[in-house]
Structure 1
Amino acid sequence: MAAKRKRHSPEFKARVALEALKGMKTSQELAREYGVHPTQVAQWKGQLRDNAGELFQSGAAREAQKHQESELAQAYEQIGRLNMELTWLKKNAPPPES
């Protein structure tokens, strides 16, 4: 029987990732100390490095980004709907008269 997955809090992940970014210990040492896999330490470190800029975004910039993402999602949804309608019309349209 497989072991139950561990769920780590965001604070725990941040603490491990910050330790990894400091570079004072290897991933192996951190993994042993915190009881996680070395690959997980590397993933959390990468996530922190990639997303650190978002921590310092202003609220307005964050809201603008969320709004832009929601508009993009709506546009993709509409494109999908229109493609389905076009496909249906192509299948069910009467043949052109010659």
Structure 2
Amino acid sequence: MKGKRRKFSSAFKAKVALEALKEKETLAELAQRFEVHAVMISKWKQEFLEKSAHVFDKEADQEEQVDPDRLYAKIGQLELENDFLKKSLKKLH
């Protein structure tokens, strides 16, 4: 019978990946210390390196975020304009 698959938090993976990047210990030593297979450490290290550039993309993320209050204000303004135009159209008929 197989055991349950262990799940690791992203914080734990980052910690292990950083330790692997420091190269103060071999993968075998890290694997023993963190009780994780060396192959997993290598994968986490590679993934960490690939995705590390996204840390500096905060400016792009902040520009893309939309202010909900501003959107609600715009919706309110458009509803008022729509109601005004409906009333004006009724007066013309």
TM-score range, shorter chain: 0.5 to 0.7
TM-score in terms of structure 1 length: 0.60
Matched, 1:11 2:7: no
Matched, 1:24 2:24: yes
Aligned residue in 1 for 2:55: 55
Indicate the percent of aligned positions where both proteins have the same amino acid: 39
2: CA distance between counterparts of 1:62 and 1:19? Answer: 30
1: CA distance between counterparts of 2:30 and 2:56? Answer: 27
Can you give the 5+ residue segments of structure 2 that lack an aligned partner in the other structure?
A: 65-93
- Following TM superposition, by how much is the alpha carbon of 1:59 offset from its aligned partner in structure 2, in angstroms? 4.2
Q: Which runs of 4+ in 1 moved over 4 A?
A: 61-64
Can you give the 5+ residue segments of structure 1 that lack an aligned partner in the other structure?
A: 65-98
Alpha-carbon spacing, 1:47–1:2, altered in 2? closer, same or farther (3 Å):
same
Matched position secondary structure for 1:8: coil
Matched position secondary structure for 1:13: helix
Q: How many residues align?
A: 64
RMSD: 1.7
Aligned residue in 1 for 2:36: 36
- Following TM superposition, by how much is the alpha carbon of 1:58 offset from its aligned partner in structure 2, in angstroms? 2.2
Matched position secondary structure for 2:14: helix
Which has the larger Rg?
Answer: 2
